[in-house]
Chain A
Amino acid sequence: GAVVSQHPSRVICKSGTSVKIECRSLDFQATTMFWYRQFPKQSLMLMATSNEGSKATYEQGVEKDKFLINHASLTLSTLTVTSAHPEDSSFYICSARGALYEQYFGPGTRLTVT
Chain B
Amino acid sequence: QKEVEQDPGPLSVPEGAIVSLNCTYSNSAFQYFMWYRQYSRKGPELLMYTYSSGNKEDGRFTAQVDKSSKYISLFIRDSQPSDSATYLCAMSGSGNTPLVFGKGTRLSVIA
Contact = CB atoms under 8 A, between A and B. Distances in A.
A110 B41 contact: yes
B41 A103 contact: no
How large, as a class, is the contact surface on chain B? 20 to 34
B92 interface: yes
Secondary structure dominating the interface of A: strand
Interface in A1-44: 1, 4, 6, 32, 34, 42-44
Interface residues of A, number: 24
A6 B41 CA distance: 13
19 contacts: A6-B43, A32-B96, A42-B103, A43-B88, A43-B103, A44-B44, A93-B43, A93-B44, A100-B51, A101-B94, A101-B95, A103-B46, A103-B90, A103-B99, A104-B46, A105-B44, A105-B45, A105-B46, A108-B43
Ranked nearest first, the 6 interchain pairs of A and B with the lowest CB-CB distance are A101-B95, A105-B43, A108-B43, A102-B49, A105-B44, A107-B43
Interface of A: 1, 4, 6, 32, 34, 42-44, 46, 49, 91, 93, 95, 97, 100-108, 110
Interface of B: 32, 34, 36, 41-46, 49, 51, 88, 90, 92, 94-96, 98-99, 101-104
